[in-house]
Amino acid sequence: MKCNATWFTNEALVSILNINKLYTPFGSFAAATNILCVLVMLSTKQMREKYGAFGLLSFGDMLNALGMVIAASVRTQLIYDNSYGSLSTFSCFGRPWPYFFIVGGQLPAFVLIVMAGERVIAVFKPLIYRTYVTPKTRSIANTVCVILSILFLLIGIVFSFLNREVCTNPTCTTIYSTGRLYGTFNYILIVLLPFVALLLNIIAYTGAKSRSVSTNMKRELKKARVSLVIAALAVVLTALPNIILWGQGVYWNVGIVPYMYIGFGCNSVVNLFTFFFMKKDFRYRLLSFISYGFLNRYFNLHEVTMTNTRRNMVQNVSTRPPARS
């Protein structure tokens, strides 16, 4: 199907070009910080076991940031080529960035629920947590998040094909490249799940605070605080902007929407600084990683990154000689 309508005036195109000039540096910086988080998480076995969910969260945010950079670059080139006109919904999905936006938006939302759920179990069911929440179960939960994101991406492709006769906006956002029905479903996931994660983290934090008489619960209080901060930032910088993005051009016209999307794409940058200042072992490992090990002499890295499980195993090993028969 051919769509030849022009959506924007020359003034609007100039505004889009100016916004793209912001998308590229902000998106590149966000992608770089997330790549750094992923590399730090992959650097040791202890980091992979302890921060696997955060690494997956960073990976999803990295995809979203890359999508922002790609969208800005391609849109700018299309405008300069006088090719920035209306096209079909399915042709919109042929552009590269809708894939990044869908997975990069939904995957972090799923991971936030997993992180919040783990904190609730750790606080209110500590025996179950110590027994069943192992590196293997965390890996399974992370894999489920990835599978769900890919599954919903495939569903989005189906909806885009079903709407292939519809001419749409050349910005090719998720809602324009898949149709209003799937776009609404996508925004519901991106908006609702961070709110649910925030609620679960508030419950976990208040529960840990009321039980923080033991050493283990004090440790859980620190973990719940970090997870709470990340979920709160996701609500402010991700969920709320996406509520505005969903209704833009249909129910309201807000001039700052493009700038709000920058906050959505760069939310993950704040996550890096949150972990840096609130997680000592992550901070030491990051400094060691970016200094190529030069700072190891100042940070006893191996002791810091040792997992609690390993420490408990070492402490419980008997030092008595075996009994003679």
State the pTM of this model: 0.84
The tens digit of pLDDT for each residue in 229-256 reads 999 988 888 877 778 777 766 676 766 7
Q: What is the pLDDT of residue 10?
A: 84
DSSP state of 317: S
Q: Return the percent helix, strand and coil in the chain, to nearest 5.
A: 80, 0, 20
Question: For the residues 198-213, what does the mean pLDDT come to?
Answer: 90
Question: For the residues 122-139, what does the mean pLDDT come to?
Answer: 92
CA distance readout (Å), 26 to 69, 107, 313: 8, 21, 45
d(CA 221, CA 219): 5
- 278, 225 in Cβ contact below 8 A? yes
Q: Which two tokens stand for residue 126?
A: 């500590």
* Single-letter code of the amino acid located at 179: G
d(CA 290, CA 230): 23
The SS3 call for residue 176 is helix
d(CA 191, CA 129): 28
Reported as a pLDDT band with limits 50, 70 and 90, residue 312 is very low
Residue 313 has pLDDT above 50, yes or no: no
Does the domain formed by 10-295 have CATH 3.40.50.2020?
no
Residue 151 has pLDDT above 60, yes or no: yes
Q: Which helix (H) or strand (E) holds 81?
A: none
> Domain boundaries in the chain?
10-295
- The closest alpha carbon to 208, from 279, 134, 126, 114, belongs to 126
Handedness of CA 268, 269, 272, 277 (dihedral sign): negative
Q: Please give the full DSSP string across 291-305, using - where no structure is assigned.
A: TTTGGGGTS-HHHHH
Reported as a pLDDT band with limits 50, 70 and 90, residue 304 is very low
- The closest alpha carbon to 176, from 276, 94, 273, 239, belongs to 94
Q: What is the pLDDT of residue 72?
A: 93
Residue 9 has pLDDT above 90, yes or no: no
The tens digit of pLDDT for each residue in 88-105 reads 999 999 899 999 999 999
Lowest mean pLDDT among 58-67, 151-160, 206-215: 206-215
Please give the residue that has the higher pLDDT: either 294 or 227: 227
The tens digit of pLDDT for each residue in 53-70 reads 999 999 999 999 999 999
User: Which range, 145-154, 254-263, 279-288, is most confident?
Assistant: 145-154
Q: What is the pLDDT of residue 216?
A: 80
Q: What is the pLDDT of residue 311?
A: 43
